[in-house]
Amino acid sequence: MKDIVLFWIPGAWKWTQADLFLDKKWEHYSHISPGNVFRSLVSKPNAIWRYVTQQMEKGQLVDDQVTISLFQAYFFTVLDQEKLMLLDWYPRSLTQLESFLQLVDLHNRDVVWVYFDLSDEEAINRMLSRAREWEDRAMIQTRLDEYYTKTQPVTDAFAAQLPLIKIDASWSIEDIHTTVLSHLDS
């Protein structure tokens, strides 16, 4: 088994797929989603609450150094627990990818990247259907622009170095899940 990076355009049912995977493989994997961590940080005022809130409200990513520090703390906890990693949307920038690859290489981790592909139109429709009160079409477009500018290059760079499994995320949740498991089990 390998460490797994789950990656997709916003709106591709990422939490659903991560949860379904963990239902089957929870005993082997430790899961982290920087987005979930940052959302929990803004639920009550703390040292980085204002900064993270501002970034999220603008549809922008949290600073690389903050995100890398968060990941490194998680990574060493996973090593101590002797578990595999299920990474949900990390690394999200080329700087984060460089740090990530150095760390996993240093510790001889075997990593596979699962990329969920979805059209912009479908992504926008899905995000609008579940939008929070501060999200509108303009905010969602900002998130997509941020994705294509900062995050899509990470997928391209990763695919040039490590295995990439590409999944069509327009399928049903069940079909996507079955396909993911068949790829990861083979």
**What are the extents of the domains in the chain?**
3-185
DSSP one-letter string for 33-78: -HHHHHHHHTTS--TTHHHHHHHHHTT-PPPHHHHHHHHHHHHHHH
pLDDT digits (tens, 9 = 90+) for 33-48: 877 777 777 777 777 7
CATH class of 3-185: alpha beta
To the nearest whole number, what is the mean pLDDT of the chain? 87
Q: What's the pLDDT at 127? A: 87
* Residues 58-84, mean pLDDT to the nearest whole number: 89
pTM of the model: 0.83
Region 103-130: mean pLDDT is 92
